[in-house]
Structure formats: C-alpha cells, structure tokens
Structure 1
Amino acid sequence: MRRPALLLVLMTTMSLVPACQPAGSACPAIAQATAVAVTVTAGYSPRVASLHLRACQDGTCKEADVELRPGTSTIDQGCIEGGACSATASPDGTKVATLMLDTLTESPMTVTASGTAPDRTALQVRALEFQPKVLYPFGKQCGKVLSAAVLLDDAGLHLQPASP
C-alpha cells in the first residue's frame, strides 16, 4: 500500500514543478532591417539636395542614391486617466535616408556620403569607419539587433547617438 501512495505523491509533486519555474518571456516577431540609416542634421539639411551612400563591410560594398525624407521628432502628448497615452511626430528640420544592405554584421564598416547642393554643386565627400552597435532591445533572451546609424553635418559623418 505504501508504494501506490508514494507514487501518487511523486506524480503530484512532479506536475507542480513546472509551475514553480519562472515564466518565459515572449519575444516579438519583428524582422531586423539590414540597413544603414543616415540623418542629415537640421543645420546642414538646407545645403543637401541629393545624397549618395556607399557602405562597405566584410569585403562587400553596396551603394545607391538614397531618398531624402523629412525627419521628425516625437512629441509626447501625455496620458489620460485609465492609462492611454499618445504621441505625435513633428517635423524637426532634419532629413533622413536609408541604404538597404544584403547583410549587416558586427564587423567594422565604412560609410561614404556624397551628394549635391540645391545649386547642383558637389558636396564634400565624407567617410566614417565604425562598428555597428549591438543592442538587446527586448532582452538577451530575444537575441541581438545590429544598428548602423550615422549623422551627417557640415563637419562630416558621425555615429548616431543612442536613443533615450
């Protein structure tokens, strides 16, 4: 009689063990864009009519004339009682563009920017060598995301500062 009772206790205990473990966290099913993002600063953007980007990494280069779009800043509109919050985008004078890549790795890359001014004169060619940033925006359990983002101003190309 003792064995069936012991077996029942063990089976009951073992069924409770998974409930005592920390719950897994769900990771978002969001694909990472393999791209280089460029932001032309508000002070320099009036002097940029067109932009050509070249990105080289791991012995492979990709280049294209990129579409310049108006940049925006996020304006917090606060929260209402009950927890609903909102924000809006407001033009901030910057211009943004993206150069899509076939792959993006953690290896160093060189980005070169050239283009024309509104009067069709050539802009000074600017280049920057850097290593894409490794980010874990959803926690290490969800894997890394690589970011290659640069700023273009009258002094040249610079790494895009981290978002708050």
Structure 2
Amino acid sequence: MHKPGLLLALTTTALTSAVISGCGFAASACPAIAQATAVSVTVTAAYSPEVGALHARACQDGTCKEADVELRPGSTSVDSGCNPEGSCSATASPDGTKVGALMLEALTESPMTVTVSGTGPEGTALPVRSMEFQPQAAYPFGEQCGKVVSASVTLDDAGLHQQVRP
C-alpha cells in the first residue's frame, strides 16, 4: 500500500473510533439543567384563601435556613393533545394552589425538619406547622445522568405533609 493510502486508512480509522466512542449511537445525552437546592411548598387550593404570607425554616445535617417564602399562583398541566406529525403539547391552567420555595445551600437525602408559619390575608397568625421527613432521590433522566434529590411539602388546614413524587 502506498503511503497516501495508508495515511487515509489510519485517519479514517481514528476518526471513526473517536466518533463511535464519544458520540456514537450508544451514548445518551443528559439535560444541561441544574437542580435547585430548595424545599418547595405547595398550599392546597382549599387552604390557599387562608394564607396571605408564609415563612419557612428548614434544618438538615446541623444547618438551618429560614426566610419568607414568596408565594405565587400554582397551576396544573392540561393536555392539549397531539397533532398528526406527532408533536404533543400542554398548557398551564391555574388550580387555586399557591406555590413557593425556600432556597438552601445544600440538599441531601438526610432527614430534615421543616417548619412553616405565616399570616392570613388580614394579618392574623396561622398555626405553626412542623414535620420531619426524608428528601427523595430519583434518576429522572436515567442513572447515567446522575441523581436528583427533592424536598417538597404540602400545607393544608391539617398541617404539613411530604409530597411524594412519582
């Protein structure tokens, strides 16, 4: 084989190996989104009219963080169907809930205690509610993309409850 032919064969083999090993069909892409380290709080639709302002405190692994929680209207996804080309969509529809989050420096799978207090729309104090629970770990994009830890609670007239994500 002539030298130019050998060079072409080696170059093609090297490029093919690089493409297959780094970007081949077996590789799967992971989304480039960062996980929010926070405790999310949802006030149920039935209890929402009773809540004007909310303050939360979360303690985990010997560290506590507390702040006022900015509440905004919650929503649910409504299926808008699919078109003949296979594109599907959904819209957000208000559901009467209020949602917010307490941002944390770190979030682990260790047990945590969350306490919420607040006031009603007229400024009357709401009952202080507290609970201990363990944040959930999941691999929503597959194990190759890493673990996501979430901490979510729901507040209603009976107290705080852990939101369990499917």
TM over 0.5: yes
Q: Classify the secondary structure of the residue corresponding to 2:33.
A: coil
Q: Identical aligned pairs, as a percentage?
A: 70
Normalised by the length of structure 2, the TM-score is 0.84
Aligned partner of 1:85 among 81, 84, 88 = 88
Aligned partner of 2:136 among 133, 138, 150 = 133
Deviations 1:47-78 (A, max 9, x none): 00000000000111000011110000100000
Tell me how far 1:29 sits from its aligned partner: 1.4
Report whether the alignment pairs 1:108 with 2:114.
Answer: no
Distance 2:25 2:71 in 1: 47
Aligned partner of 2:31 among 28, 36, 41 = 28
1:39 alignment counterpart: 42
Normalised by the length of structure 1, the TM-score is 0.85
1:9 alignment counterpart: none
Q: Classify the secondary structure of the residue corresponding to 2:58.
A: strand
Tell me how far 1:27 sits from its aligned partner: 1.2
**Number of residue pairs aligned between Structure 1 and Structure 2:** 150
1:67 alignment counterpart: 70
Tell me how far 1:161 sits from its aligned partner: 2.9
Q: Classify the secondary structure of the residue corresponding to 2:49.
A: helix
1:50 alignment counterpart: 53
Give the aligned CA root-mean-square deviation in angstroms.
2.0
Distance 1:123 1:107 in 2: 28
Distance 1:48 1:40 in 2: 8
Aligned partner of 2:123 among 120, 126, 129 = 120
- AA partner of residue 127 (structure 1): S
| Unpaired stretches in structure 2, ≥5 consecutive residues | 1-12
Distance 2:20 2:101 in 1: 46
Tell me how far 1:100 sits from its aligned partner: 0.4
Tell me how far 1:22 sits from its aligned partner: 7.0
When structure 1 is superposed on structure 2, of 20-29 and 131-140 the one drifting more is 20-29
Tell me how far 1:134 sits from its aligned partner: 0.2
1:149 alignment counterpart: 152
Distance 1:52 1:22 in 2: 49
| Unpaired stretches in structure 1, ≥5 consecutive residues | 1-11
Aligned partner of 1:160 among 151, 159, 163 = 163
